[in-house]
Structure 1
Amino acid sequence: MKSITRLGWTAYAVAAATVVLDQISKLWVLSVLSREQGSTLPLLGPLHLTMVHNYGMSFGLLRGNDWGRWLLIGFSIVVVIGLAIWARKAVKLLPALGIGMIIGGAIGNNLIDRVQYGYVVDFIDVSRLYFPWVFNVADSAISIGVALLLIDSFWSEEKKLSHQTE
């Protein structure tokens, strides 16, 4: 009988590391750029640090409403709890890593930033590469986490299909 190793603690460790990296990067950027909206500093080629106060969510939804801020905080708490429960059941590395990155990104952006500043601190600016959004470490972690979950889903489906055809 094969024992199942649960990887919940792996997901929680990745979430904690993501929050730490996200918050350290934001503190550093705030010390370099200050909190002034739009202040920018060229780094390497198309990479700039640009201070953006993100009050809303994707495409500016819920922007400018104080109730929207608290709605996003509440929604994030529900998402983090749901993902933390899912993480406890993770038995494969890719989903554990992905879930951890999403949890850490949600905590960094939508909980800590929105409670502490009232907005999300965005600063990674590669708009010179025709990518119109300014983002941060937590955003990157969420995107990579979702990609890892999708990759695992495709691999699992592919394995399932190959076993059915044998």
Structure 2
Amino acid sequence: MSKKNIALITVILAILIDQIIKIYVKTHFIINEEVKVFDWFRIHFVENNGMAMGFEFGGSGGKLFLTLFRLVAVVGIVYWLMSTIKKKMPNVVVVAIALIFAGAVGNIIDSVFYGVIFDAPQHSVATLFSDEPYGKLFYGRVVDMFYFPIWEGTWPSWIPVIGGKPGGFFNYIFNPADSYITIGVALLFIFNKKAFPKEEKKKEELTTD
């Protein structure tokens, strides 16, 4: 299989999985509804207006800037991916960049379109292609659902700032698109010598008088 097809299949499958899971959760879960799969893994439906892991970014103006920035970044990632394919770099590098691209696109779809295709009822599930959408184009909320509360308790008193306070690990709630970006970056780190090969030093040409 060609590297171009590997990248294309990776991107299409990743985005489809991301959107199917998000749409299912949004149309079957109420905000903050939780299903315990295991003690350390739960499906917990939340939405965020800003960056990954639920961070906010400067209100509505910051939200628009972040969405536009993501769109520009995606163009750069496409160029990076095409350049990687053209250079015939290892498949693991192609897949890693394809995952990063798919993750970025997955969250962009939420940010750009979800505000105009979903409503936002307070005590019931959302409706897809609603006649009364909750927002407007470029102002959609990103859907998150994966929650891994591996440990919950009180931080040891010897830890600065948070010592003695209740806490846990891992408290962030994320989505498939976030996972793709994390996995892609991790693969690039693990296979950094293949992803970022050092250029061979050019041999100096011998000159004669």
TM-score of the aligned structures, taking structure 2 as reference length: 0.65
Query: Residue 85 of structure 1: CA displacement?
Result: 1.1
Alpha carbon RMSD of aligned pairs, Å?
2.5
1:32 to 28, 34, 38: 28
Q: 2:37 aligns with which of 38, 43, 60?
A: 43
CA distance in 2, matches of 1:21, 1:153: 27
Counterparts in 2 of 1:14-163, with a 5 A limit?
A: 14-34=10-30, 36=31, 38-58=32-52, 60-62=55-57, 65-90=59-84, 91=88, 92-109=90-107, 111-115=108-112, 116-117=114-115, 118-129=140-151, 130-154=169-193
For normalisation by structure 1, the TM-score amounts to: 0.81
CA contact (8 A) 1:8 1:89 kept: no
Show the counterpart of 2:123. none
Number of residue pairs aligned between Structure 1 and Structure 2: 154
* 1:39-98 residue CA offsets vs partner (Å, 9 max, x unmatched): 2111223211111111121472405x1122211111111111111111112222111101
Residues 118-149 of structure 1, C-alpha deviation per residue, up to 9 Å, x if partnerless? 21100001124420100111011000011111
Larger mean CA deviation between 65-74 and 135-144 belongs to: 65-74
Distance between the aligned counterparts of 2:100 and 2:50, measured in 1? 18
Cα distance change on mapping 1:137 and 1:58 into 2, 3 Å: closer
Q: Whole-Å Cα distance in 2 between the matches of residues 53 and 139 of structure 1?
A: 13
Which aligned segments of 4 or more residues in structure 1 are displaced greater than 4 angstroms? none
Structure 1 residues 9 and 72, CA gap change in structure 2 (3 angstroms): farther
> Which of the pair has the greater relative contact order for Cα pairs under 8 Å at 6+ separation?
1
Contact 1:7 1:89 in 2 (8 A): no
The unaligned stretches of length 5 or more in structure 2 are 116-139, 152-168, 202-209
Cα distance in structure 2, aligned partners of 1:89 and 1:7: 11
Larger radius of gyration: 2
Gaps of at least 5 residues in structure 1 are: none
Q: Distance in 2 between matches of 1:14 and 1:72?
A: 25
Of all paired residues, the percent bearing the same amino acid is: 29
TM superposition shift of 1:8: 3.7
Greater helix fraction, Structure 1 or Structure 2 = 1
